[in-house]
Structure formats: C-alpha cells, structure tokens
Structure 1
Amino acid sequence: MELREIEIFLVLAEELHFGRTADRLRVSPARVSQAIKKQERAIGAELFKRTSRSVQLTPTGKVLQEGLAAGYQQIKEALSAAAAAGRGITGELAVAYSAAWCGTLVVAATDVFRARHPNCTVHIHESPLLDPIGPLRDGTHHIQLIELPIDEPDIVNGPVVFTEPRALVVPRGHPFAERDTVSMEDLAEAPLITVTSQPQYFIDHHYPRRTPKGRPIRRGPSTTAWQEVLALVGAGKGVSPTCARAAHYYSRPDVVYVPFRDAPPVEYGLLWAATNSTPKVHAFIETLLGTARNQRAEPLPPVRGH
C-alpha cells in the first residue's frame, strides 16, 4: 500500500464521507473510491460499509485503522523533520493568542511542533488587547491567533481556524439574565460596554452602533482590558457581547452569559506580518491547523447557569 493510499484510507476512516475526504486531500471523490477498492481487493475484505446515507468502518477496517494510524504519524513526523532540516526551521518562534480558548489550542499545537522541529524554540504569549497588531509589526510576535476581522495592508490574513457562537454578558439580576437567549435587537435596550484602541472596523463589527432594524445602540463606558469589561458589567454599567465560551473561562458571581439566537459567530484566524512569511511560520501554521482538526472537541455545556 502506497503512502498516499494509506492517507486516503485514514482520512476516510475519520471523515466517513467520500466528498469531505476528497476535499480535504484535494483529490476527486473517484480517486478516493478507486484507492479504497484497490485496498479492499488487496486485503480480500471490505473496509467500509457504504449505503446511500452513510459510510461506516467494518471490523476489518477498524483493525487496519488501528494498525496504520501510529505508523503513518511516525512517517509524517520523520518526513516533516527532514523537510524542516532542509528548509532551516531553527531558531525561535513567538506565537501569540488573544483569548484563553485560543491559548489552549496554541499550547497543544506547540507540543506537536516542538516534537517535529526540536531545533526551533517556540515562545507563547498572550496578545495585548491594547495593541494586538503592534507586536506583529515590530517582530516581537511572529504569528497570532485572534478574533477577526483584521484588515491591515502589512498583515497577512491566514485561514479561519474555528468559529464560536456569541453571548451577551449582563449583570446578574438584569432582566436579560432571566432569558434563555437574547437577540441583536435587544442591544438597543442597554448601554454597550466596549473596548478601545482597536481598529474602528473591528469595533464596529463587534460593537455595532445600530441593531439590524436600525435602532440606535447606546454606548456605555469603554476600556482596554477584558477584566475591566467584566467588572463594569458586574457593577451594572451596561452589557457587552463576547464569545459564548467565555462563560466557561471567566465565570463570576456578578455576571451572567446569555446566548444570542441570531448573532453571527465569532471567527478566529491566524495572522502574521507580510515581511515575516518564513518557512517556520508556515510550518507552525500547518501544525496548528492539523491540531485543530484532530482535536474537534465536543461542544461545551450550555452557557446558562454561569
């Protein structure tokens, strides 16, 4: 079995969908089907049960998956290490993240990257809310995982890594705190606490000035620190939109996180300076994207109750 055929089998065993497997490997669905049929002929048994609605591993397929997965990963790491040596992936790399849940992914990706590229030292930093792009521009940070949108001529926008639903953080005891959900129209009913020192387009995206129906949204206090946002909300000075996952990282007795039912999700993507597009930067990006795919964490419990 050739390495590419092993890859096709393992990805299909994960995705259980010929179309998604083809998209992920950038081949045609016919190529995936041909590779699996070839493997089944060689083994003399079915590897997948196919119906018009589903694809499932057979017992033989599960045995093959368990036997191939570890060896294939070792081969990939060996090839990656050899390629890294050839490209000179050495020295130091500074990777920043904006939110705690981004940091969890960055740490996991860093562990994988260090194993693959032992001659490159990775330093992990929390991105400053006051000036998140500055460290990319001056070279202090090489890569950043952050909320989008960011639209700067000297900053490269990499792929969106994941999205998260939004919630509204409100004071405990506020009428919104008793609801199961809120809507974007509800933002017209309370002062909106915002962050400053961000590009105006970023502020307008996350802290709109009007509801979808055009009602004005009042501005409350503004700050440059997330903990200050929570303190202001807890003190009853207003409400603030955020990622719903914040409820599990920043639970407080004086605030409640209420999910939005109609807000667009928050997108988190990778950024790096256009002048710093190096092999080690792209090697880390590849590692992080692979780590994100492999994690595929189960959804967190509902926000209510925090």
Structure 2
Amino acid sequence: MELRDIEIFLTLAEELHFGRTAERLHLSQARVSQSIKQQERRIGGALFERTSRNVQLTPLGQRLRDRLGAGYREIMAAVDEAVATTRGQIGTLTLGAMAVDHHQIAPVLDLFRQRHPRCEVRIREILPTDPFSALRAGRVDIALAWLPVDEPDLTVGPNLHTESMVLAVSPGHPLAGRDQVTMEDLGDHPVVWADGPIPDYMWRAHTPAVTPAGRPIPRGLGVATLEEALTAISGGTVVSPVGVHAAATRSRHDIAFLPLADGPVLQYVPVWRTAAETTLVRAFAQAAADA
C-alpha cells in the first residue's frame, strides 16, 4: 500500500465523507474512491459501509485505522523532524485561545519564539462554549482549553496555567453585599449555561450541576459568549462563575465580582487533533513542558 493511499484511507476514516476527504487532500473525489476500492480489493474485505446518506467504517476498517494510524504518524514525524533539522522550524502555528489566555502563557510563547524565530505564531479567539470546532475545522492548530478533555480524536498536552474563579453578579443581587460566597450559595440562584457545543463534562468543571451538598444548581439563560453572559448577569436574574483573568479585564459598573471561596480551579492545556500533529505542534508542547 502506497503512503498516499494510507493517507487517503486515514483521512476518509476521520472525515467519513468522500467530498471532504478529496478537498482536504486536494484530490478528485474519483481518485479517493478509486484508492479505497483498490485497498479493499487488495485486503479482500470492505473497509467502509457506504449508503446514499453516510459513510461508516466497518469493523475491519476500524482495526486497520487503529493499526495504520500510529505507524503513519511515526513516519510523518520522522520526515518532519528530518526536515526541521536541516531547515529549521519554518511556518505558521495558529493557537486558539479564550479571552486573555494568551497573556497567561507569555513565558511559553516567549520560549517557543526564542527556539523557533522563523515560525510565526498567530492567536485566534475561540469561545468557552465552543472550544473544539475551530480545531477540528483546521482553523487553529492548537486550542487552549481547560481540563478535563476526553475526546478520542484529540491529544492533550502539558499544563499551561491554572485559573481560579469569582462569581459575577449584578450590584443589586442579594449576594452582592457579601465579602465572599460559596458554591453552596449557587443552589439558590440560577446560573447561566453554555449554549454551544462544549461537552457537558467540560462545562460542569466550570459550572457544576450540583452544589457540594448535592442540591441542583438551577439553570437560567443560555449564553454563547462571555459578553452575553455579563449582559445577562447585569439584569440581575442570573449569576455565573467567571475566571479571575477574564474578570480582571472586564471592569464595569453593572457587574460585581465576588470571591468564590470553594469555586472550581480551571487547569488549561494545549489540545490538538492527533491526526494533524506536526513538528511545530510538538515543539510548542515541548516549550509548554519546559516553561
């Protein structure tokens, strides 16, 4: 099996769509289909189940994907490292960051740029309620997200920074006059919830579903961005935990930020698509570990 055919198979196994596979690899759809048919004839069994509506891996295809994927990544890593050794790290690395996260990882960015001065680093904003869409669409190479991340197609890198939480309330809210609040207080006040594709298990790390005593925390308005959340909070009907770094950049007269004594502590990590790992991605992960 040629390396290009392996690449076609693995890309189709990820996309499960002939058109998107062809577009990603800059091939015709007929070339993709021909390659898969040739592989199936050589192996003697179907790798994909095809209908007019969808494409799915067969059990045989799943096993082949698992075995080939690791080997293919090793081959490409070896080639990338050989090129990097002779040419130096050249290219663009695009990071997806939430709000002011890139300020918190300045030592990592400085070390990476020092080691790879010919590489351009770009920062694009990603939403807390949608941490992975830009990553999976290829608009960013690495997303900075808080733990836990339990996605089968993504690799999690080393710790970058941590962020404690404060509680955002309106100045007229019953909690506003307190010196500090606790997570148990949230059992009596609706919180904003994430109106986006963030996995539920990730959002619960930010805003738990129950108090420490097990009381349900009522859900109020759904929001997609931090600004939407603050606007809703300013109306007085909802509250929300907010990261201290984000709160520090959003001083406004209609929002009070209260210390949250036992609030969550978010741990941020770099996350990337396993199938799209490059030398630059690995270099950034190494800089994160070293910094």
Question: TM-score surpassing 0.5?
Answer: yes
Look up the SS of the partner of 1:135 in the other structure: helix
Code of the aligned partner of 1:232: A
Q: CA deviation at 1:84?
A: 4.7
Which stretch shifts more, 196-205 or 224-233? Answer: 196-205
- Please say if 1:193 is aligned against 2:192: yes
**CA distance in 2 between partners of 1:246 and 1:124 (Å):** 17
**CA distance in 1 between partners of 2:256 and 2:117 (Å):** 44
Change (3 A) 1:135 1:88: farther
Look up the SS of the partner of 2:231 in the other structure: helix
C-alpha contact (below 8 Å) 1:99/1:146 kept by paired residues: no
Which stretch shifts more, 265-274 or 202-211? Answer: 202-211
Change (3 A) 1:113 1:203: closer
Look up the SS of the partner of 1:280 in the other structure: helix
**CA distance in 2 between partners of 1:281 and 1:221 (Å):** 37
C-alpha contact (below 8 Å) 1:158/1:269 kept by paired residues: yes
- Please say if 1:235 is aligned against 2:232: no
Q: CA deviation at 1:290?
A: 4.0
**CA distance in 2 between partners of 1:209 and 1:113 (Å):** 38
- Please say if 1:283 is aligned against 2:266: no
1:266 aligned residue? 266
**CA distance in 2 between partners of 1:286 and 1:211 (Å):** 38
Look up the SS of the partner of 1:95 in the other structure: strand
1:251 aligned residue? 251
C-alpha contact (below 8 Å) 1:244/1:259 kept by paired residues: no
**CA distance in 2 between partners of 1:243 and 1:152 (Å):** 23
Q: CA deviation at 1:98?
A: 1.3
**CA distance in 2 between partners of 1:90 and 1:122 (Å):** 11
Change (3 A) 1:177 1:257: same
**CA distance in 2 between partners of 1:252 and 1:207 (Å):** 22
C-alpha contact (below 8 Å) 1:107/1:124 kept by paired residues: no
1:54 aligned residue? none
Look up the SS of the partner of 1:178 in the other structure: coil
Code of the aligned partner of 2:95: V
Code of the aligned partner of 1:121: E
- Please say if 1:217 is aligned against 2:222: no
1:166 aligned residue? 165
Change (3 A) 1:140 1:226: same
Return the structure number with greater relative CO, CA threshold 8 A, min gap 6. 2
Q: TM-score, normalised by structure 1?
A: 0.63
**CA distance in 1 between partners of 2:139 and 2:227 (Å):** 24
Code of the aligned partner of 1:165: S
1:176 aligned residue? 175
Q: TM-score, normalised by structure 2?
A: 0.66
Q: Which runs of 5+ in 1 are unaligned?
A: 1-81, 292-306
Q: CA deviation at 1:216?
A: 1.9
**CA distance in 1 between partners of 2:163 and 2:117 (Å):** 33
Code of the aligned partner of 1:187: L
Change (3 A) 1:118 1:171: same
**CA distance in 2 between partners of 1:124 and 1:245 (Å):** 17
**CA distance in 2 between partners of 1:217 and 1:205 (Å):** 13
C-alpha contact (below 8 Å) 1:168/1:240 kept by paired residues: yes
C-alpha contact (below 8 Å) 2:190/2:238 kept by paired residues: yes
Number of aligned residue pairs:
209
Code of the aligned partner of 1:172: P
**CA distance in 2 between partners of 1:105 and 1:169 (Å):** 21
C-alpha contact (below 8 Å) 1:194/1:222 kept by paired residues: yes
Code of the aligned partner of 2:239: V
Which stretch shifts more, 177-186 or 201-210? Answer: 201-210
C-alpha contact (below 8 Å) 2:159/2:289 kept by paired residues: no
